[in-house]
Amino acid sequence: MKIIIYYGGRGLIEDPTLYVIKKITEVFDEIRVKTERINLYEQKNNLSMLPNALKEVDGVVLAVNVEWLGIGGLMQQFLDACWLYGDKEKIQKIYMFPVVIANTYGEKEAENTLIKAWEMLGGISCNGLTAYVENPMEFEKNPEYTKIIEKAAENFYRNINQKLLLLPSSSNAVRKNIMHNSLELTPQESEQLSVYVSDDVYVKKQKEDIEELTKLFSGMLNNAEGAEVKHEFIKNLRENYKPQGADFTATYAIVISDLGKTLIIEVENNNLKCYYGEKPDADVIATTTRDIMEKLVQGRTTFQGSFMSGGITAKGNFKMLRTFDQVFQFTIL
């Protein structure tokens, strides 16, 4: 049997959690249980790889010190790594013993967090140890407290040794639903991914590659959108053009404000020319939006009607402005 103790505190001498861990370790040593302690504060750069060690254990002790609120960042990161990279099939067989010692309020809430997290991972949670310690020296010198700690450690050993079974929990159903929507990886793939994540050089290179690809695809998208804008509305104008006779000449410059483009329409001797560009000397210079232009070419409004309602503003030859609806007669779509 092997048990790993994961300590999520800061390693301060006055942390009473360290005393509890020491007493638990002594109990395990007496009953000849192989015990390993991992201080998470010493493994900040390798937290993503720590779940790999769970393949060889029967039980884990998750020990935290509540100095302010909750289980602390290091323990949270470790549990996140278990969710992302841990072997879920193996974790289902691992018993977890929560140890929460608080300097302030919140030991019960922190214990519940550890239990919920471990059950979400599919593991088996056992009764733990929680305590509020105001004076570490008095706590450590109290023999009754020591007996409680030792008894709890013995019970944890019995649970593992006797393969304690628990009734079904709703956490299992939630876990299945969440995992159903997540990326499915084999244990080998998860382990390899955890190695990559812990490699700062690899992660930095991946971020640089992602940024480069983002710029590349962004450029391609902008080019595609630019090509689309380049021809937008021109086909509609050509299909719905109604010649007014050989002596009719007019030029319209329609500024589409939200596109930042100007649509130029030139009519001369029954010939129609449409393009995006600049024409400061056009007979009519109008300003509108893409939405109004779409309504116009779909026959849902008229040029004159939009001008009267304020959807289009214009300057220039107003007599020529009124001819727009005669030159282009759009079919209602």
Mean pLDDT of the chain: 86
pTM of the entire structure?
A: 0.59
Euclidean distance between CA atoms 234 and 215, whole angstroms: 30
Between these two residues, 290 and 198, which has the higher pLDDT value?
Answer: 290
> Six-digit token pair at 241?
């053009």
Determine the pLDDT at residue 196.
Answer: 54
Q: Is residue 239 domain-shared with residue 193, that is, in the same domain?
A: no
Q: Is residue 148 domain-shared with residue 272, that is, in the same domain?
A: no
Give domain status of residue 76, yes or no.
yes
CATH number at residue 293: 3.30.1050.10
The per-residue pLDDT for range 227-265, each reduced to its tens digit, is 445 577 888 999 999 998 888 899 999 999 988 889 999
Q: Is residue 113 domain-shared with residue 6, that is, in the same domain?
A: yes
Give domain status of residue 307, yes or no.
yes
Total tally of structural domains belonging to the chain: 2
HEC profile of 179-214: HHCCCCCCHHHHHHHHHHHHCHHHHHHHHHHHHHHH
Between these two residues, 318 and 128, which has the higher pLDDT value?
Answer: 128
Q: Is residue 25 domain-shared with residue 168, that is, in the same domain?
A: yes
The per-residue pLDDT for range 174-185, each reduced to its tens digit, is 666 665 555 555
Residue 278 structural domain: 234-327
Average pLDDT over residues 43-71: 93
* Angle separating helix axes 187-198 and 200-231, nearest 10 degrees: 90
Q: Is residue 143 domain-shared with residue 82, that is, in the same domain?
A: yes
Q: Is residue 106 domain-shared with residue 245, that is, in the same domain?
A: no
Q: Is residue 194 domain-shared with residue 269, that is, in the same domain?
A: no
> Six-digit token pair at 322?
């009124």
Give domain status of residue 17, yes or no.
yes
Q: Is residue 280 domain-shared with residue 155, that is, in the same domain?
A: no
Q: Is residue 149 domain-shared with residue 72, that is, in the same domain?
A: yes
Average pLDDT over residues 310-317: 90
Determine the pLDDT at residue 227.
Answer: 47
For residue 296, the SS3 value is helix
111, pLDDT greater than 70: yes
96, pLDDT greater than 60: yes
DSSP code string of 101-170: EESSS-HHHHHHHHHHHHHHTT-EE---EEEE-S-HHHHHH-HHHHHHHHHHHHHHHHHHHTT------H
Give domain status of residue 207, yes or no.
no
Q: Is residue 58 domain-shared with residue 136, that is, in the same domain?
A: yes
